[in-house]
Structure 1
Amino acid sequence: MMKTLVIFAHPNSDSFNGAIRYVVENQLKENGVEYIVKDLYAMNFNGILTVNDLMQMRKGTVADDIALEQNDVRWAENLIFIFPIWWIAPPAIVKGWIDRVLSHGFAYEHQEDGTIKGLLGDKRALIITTSGANQEKMQNEGTLEAIETMLIKGIFNFSGISDVTYENLFQVTSTTDEKRQEMLQQVASLVSRL
């Protein structure tokens, strides 16, 4: 049975991102997948990397809240992230989770020759984001490519995860309910292929 960790980050569980989460969970249940959901806002996850965190990481230990998150990442074969794109980036709480959880010695390590070795190569990632802008605008302005580079290369590939699927759902705030339903069917299809 595939084990999946879902990282959800939206302050409003009744948002379209919340609907995505609902579809993801239903599809995982339908597929008979064992899963854990981390609702970062509901958990009041502390996304601030502190000096103490850094000092502990240098000693090869981490704070208890980070250890808990890392154990869940270790357990999972699939990681699913659901969050909106704000200011051409994930919400701060997601970046904070990444800063604290995908830490040196856990997600990556430095090699003697100065290169970086990713340590999470046994994982797959599905990233589902939403944006208010349309696809053409984001492509023409280069913002979509920048987001993909940051997420896929800068975070997941860096951590050793080479099997990454990224899907942004465009114009979620201004499109029709019919289009949103199509998007949710697309999400179910993505999850069913994991």
Structure 2
Amino acid sequence: MNVLVIFTHPNHQSLSYAFLQQVLRGMGDNPAIREVQVADLYADKFDPVLVFNEEKRRRDMHADPRLAKYREQLRWADKIVLIYPIWWGRPPAMLLGFIDQMFASGFAYRDKKGLFPEGLLKGKSVVCVSTMKGPANYPLLWLNNAHKVLMRRALFGFVGMKRVKFFEFGSMESPKGRQKEKLDKVYRYFKAVAN
């Protein structure tokens, strides 16, 4: 199994970065994982801003040469792991800008007759590892699970990726947040995951 990890946090001293390290350690101890690549969007200085004008049209975004490396990584991966904080009830703007540009028509999906397009990234699985300051049940009780609906239905389901798992960790800035326990949980999952 080939795994692409998309890491989205500006600080390598953060808890999100500690989760990245546990994910990588778990995958390093997993014989089912052949190769791992990491796309660190802040370190890469990824530009999340969409620009459309006379020279750059939306219908050509699937072939933008600036994004070729990421398209190749997404094609190559059997599993995609996203690690990011939840800010204001949703992923960071950097990750959303990546999604806006990478999951483009002609690459991630193709329009066809009917209500839904044909997803072109079928067969891949996704794991979202996210942290937040608020309590773990905050997104469900206060936001009607908007984060999971956005990621599972509006994004991954739309492009054909049906297997989506979430680790959504709350109270991460609290001294009682059980951070070590949650880091261990992520390590154990990636050490054992088979597909």
The normalised TM-score by structure 2 is 0.90
Letter matched to residue 149 of structure 1: V
**Partner of 2:5 in structure 1?**
6
Long gaps (5+) in structure 2: none
Structure in which a larger fraction of residues adopt helix: 1
**Partner of 2:149 in structure 1?**
149
Where does 1:80-91 land on structure 2 (aligned, <5 Å)? Answer: 80-91=81-92
**Partner of 1:171 in structure 2?**
171
- Distance, in Å, in 2 between the alignment partners of 1:74 and 1:60 is 16
Deviation at 1:153, TM superposition (A): 0.6
**Partner of 2:15 in structure 1?**
16
- Distance, in Å, in 1 between the alignment partners of 2:119 and 2:7 is 23
Where does 1:85-104 land on structure 2 (aligned, <5 Å)? Answer: 85-104=86-105
**Partner of 2:73 in structure 1?**
72
Question: 1:60–1:140: structure 2 CA closer, same or farther, 3 Å change rule?
Answer: closer
Of 43-52 and 91-100, deviating more is 43-52
Long gaps (5+) in structure 1: none
Number of equivalent positions: 190
- Distance, in Å, in 2 between the alignment partners of 1:117 and 1:21 is 32
Secondary structure at 1:4's aligned position in 2?
strand
Deviation at 1:136, TM superposition (A): 3.3
Deviation at 1:63, TM superposition (A): 2.0
Deviation at 1:114, TM superposition (A): 4.4
- Distance, in Å, in 2 between the alignment partners of 1:135 and 1:59 is 40
- Distance, in Å, in 1 between the alignment partners of 2:152 and 2:166 is 8
> Aligned pair 1:40/2:41, yes or no?
yes
Secondary structure at 2:174's aligned position in 1?
coil
**Partner of 1:182 in structure 2?**
181
% identical aligned pairs: 29
**Partner of 2:161 in structure 1?**
161
Deviation at 1:40, TM superposition (A): 0.5
Letter matched to residue 48 of structure 1: V
> Which structure has the higher relative contact order (CA within 8 Å, separation 6+)?
2
Deviation at 1:54, TM superposition (A): 5.7
CA contact (8 A) 2:8 2:42 kept: yes
